[in-house]
Structure 1
Amino acid sequence: MQRPCQAKNVGFYGDFFDVNNAVNTKSEAKRHTAAPCVTIHGPTYNTETRENPMQQLIDRLKLVPHPEGGFYREVYRSGQAVSSSATKAPRQALTHIYFLLLKGQVSRFHRVLHDEVWNYYEGAPLRLLRWHGATIEEQLIGPGEANYCTTIVGGDFQAAESCGDYTLVGCTVAPGFDFADFTFADNSQWLIVPEQARQTYQRFR
């Protein structure tokens, strides 16, 4: 059953990320830091409006738009390399990002091949969705909830939204995140989910 936390759907930044031509996050972040305005199929956030407290937070943390929705910045990438059993390729041992969702934004259903730990930092509680097989489960993390962190197992789909004006979290992936290991759900995968659940969670697509 859907928990009470409402938000509008947010679109995909098609000019920022092509899942079929994945690129390193650092080069893409540099390309977008100078953009004066970010339009996200709903609210428009003007990066020149410094008196906006949410914009001040984005500026202070040097966040840029994320392809799944929201804003992010990678703050740590391990210098140690490991071999990934999921990709059969080398990856950095661990990566960590700041991730910000504002009211009216969602993190769209996506999958990362490695385990991801979500840590609450500030703002309203975060509503996190886990999609495994045909089942979608919800969890709230943050103030007033049972936990301040949770883990999404590698290979499961996930989505999220803030339950208030904004939520700032940290996301740690191990072995480290690479956009080559990141995919959105396709229609055939979505159709495995029962119709009632698809109707409930359609806005996270």
Structure 2
Amino acid sequence: MKLRHTTANDVIATLELEPHVEGGFFRRTYQADHRDMLETTGGPRFLMTSIYYLLTADSPVGQFHFNQSDILHYFHLGDAIEYSLIHADGSLQTLVMGSDVLAGHQLQLHVPGGIWKASRLLNGENGFGLISEAVSPGFDFADMEMGSRQKLTAQYPQHRALIEKLTRDED
């Protein structure tokens, strides 16, 4: 039996993914609606939510964005994904999620709320990278801010080149 090569379009169709505002594709797979809602400063939130998130060769960047909630990322399959995290003190942390743990790839990645985060698909043979994210308190678009290139480069001028690469041009 010949094995079929899985494509990004196969994954998008099979998992019923939709385009995400930050880039890539997603689908919410879980929300803790069997539990009481949590009261947050932004309003009531689910205790936890989870999504599939896919970057592809055609949509290889998850642009800089800021979340209020903690996020746990879990690598599933495909090519490695590089994460760039800008902490409040301006320090930059770069990590790679992927299957090659001997090369230092992470299978899990915790990103605390309050950190600017971007991701990009690294070149590989698959043309896609698939992860899941578990978010607590549960994700709500009201708790997310997309990174403004102008604002981020003013705040973190030392990371200008990276910010320009991982944000949309506002003009």
Please, what TM-score do these two structures have when normalized by structure 2? Answer: 0.82
Matches of 1:94 and 1:149, distance apart in 2: 17
What letter matches 1:154 in structure 2? Answer: G
Q: State TM-score, norm by structure 1.
A: 0.69
Stretch moving more, 74-83 or 106-115: 74-83
Please tell me the root mean square deviation across aligned C-alpha atoms, in Å.
1.8
Q: In structure 2, what is the equivalent of residue 124 of structure 1?
A: 79
Distance 2:129 2:7 in 1: 13
- Whether the aligned pair in 2 keeps the contact of 1:135 and 1:193 (CA below 8 Å) is no
Residue in 2 aligned with 1:56?
10
Identity of matched residues, %: 27
CA-CA distance at 1:54 after TM superposition: 1.7
Contact 2:152 2:163 in 1 (8 A): no
Match of 1:140 in 2: 96
The farther-off stretch of 64-73 and 52-61 is 52-61
Do structure 1's residue 68 and structure 2's residue 31 form an aligned pair? no
| Counterpart residue identity of residue 20, structure 2 | H
- For residues 1-205 of structure 1, what are the structure 2 equivalents within 5 Å? 53-79=7-33, 80=35, 81-84=37-40, 87-104=41-58, 105-133=60-88, 134-145=90-101, 146=104, 147-163=106-122, 164=124, 165-186=127-148, 187-195=150-158, 197-205=159-167
| Cα deviation digits, residues 98-144 of structure 1 (max 9, x gap) | 00001252000001100011100001111111111322210012212
What count of residue pairs does the alignment treat as equivalent? 152
Alpha-carbon distance change, 88 to 70 in structure 1, aligned in 2, over 3 angstroms: closer
- SS of the residue corresponding to residue 67 of structure 1 reads coil
Q: Which runs of 5+ in 2 are unaligned?
A: none
